[in-house]
Chain A
Amino acid sequence: MLKIILQILGIMVLLLAVTLVTLTLKNRNADGPSVLFPGGELVSGQLHQGAEPDWSFTDDVFTIELQTADPVSSRRIFIMESDGKVYVPSGYMRSILGRLWKDWAFQVEDGSSLVVARINGVRYERNLLRLQDPAVVDGVAAKLAQKYAGGATPDNVAQIMESVAEGDTWLFEMAPRSEQP
């Protein structure tokens, strides 16, 4: 009986390993990410130039593709507009799985902040700035709760604010590249 259980566990571990290797290799050089696995450089799509767009159109966008420059990799991520500026979150930042899953956010924090965002097929060159000002976080948390947490109720917003304050969730402003931290 023990042998059968071990054999079944072995098959499950094998399939997990095959999945990780196969999907990592399949996606790593692709023009954009898959649902979970990072992709490569964002190549297709018109490159936005000119004035800052009215980011309120992102209210109707569930996820965007975000490519970091060093190393070049891309992933799907939530997006929130607040007060005319646009933000992206990274959650689970204090857990072991989160550290593996959200390695890009640590790379941004370490200085690799130049990114390309592809939204509705248009690419935007941006610079990620970690957001920690509670006055600004309040509005962004409300939008995050409204879009992704079932509504901007006081409880939901407070929970997100607490998560940001404790470092479980990191927020980044997608600023124009002309803005330096």
Chain B
Amino acid sequence: MGIDNLRHTNRVNKKTDAKKLDLYIERIANYDKDALAGLYHMTSASVYSFALSLLKNIQDAEDVLHDTYLQVYKTAASYKSMNKPLAWILTIARNLSLMKLRNRKKIVDSKPQDWNSAFEAIPSVTAEDRLVLVSCMDKLTDEERQIIMLHTVSGYKHREVAGFLKIPLSTALSKYHRAIKKLRILLSEEN
């Protein structure tokens, strides 16, 4: 992913970006694949990180990433803009992830992934990235990880995180605080 695209994926909840996403979805409803590409570049990091937080499996998260955009393409015509396009996309990703979890018919923790090797296999992931990702996957609770991903990668405000995860704002804030503290300790130790 190039540097320009990296910037696109940051803080997509800004007003201008929400408008851009709305326009993309409007165009996708008319089968515009360029618009789908634009939407993908702006939101794929949010979708992937959220799916990975829930599923804790790289292949499954990739499947959900794929299926989310397919679903967006299929259902864009039914999208009603309420200035929350990312929430709509992430809700699709969440539903698909939950469906995948149900289909596994197993508790996801029963088969933990070897995160170090999994991230090592991705060429664009640096050693420092790997340390950060492994810490997120191994050391944070599921809820802490979801909160961190929604806040840092998707640019959700704490209030939006609380609303999306249906938890009290005070819980979202304190869990975020705890997660950042954990990461700070882990990353400082490694440094």
Pairing of A with B? no
User: Which positions in A face B, CB cutoff 8 Å?
Assistant: none
User: Could you list which residues of chain B lie within 8 angstroms of chain A, going by C-beta atoms?
Assistant: none
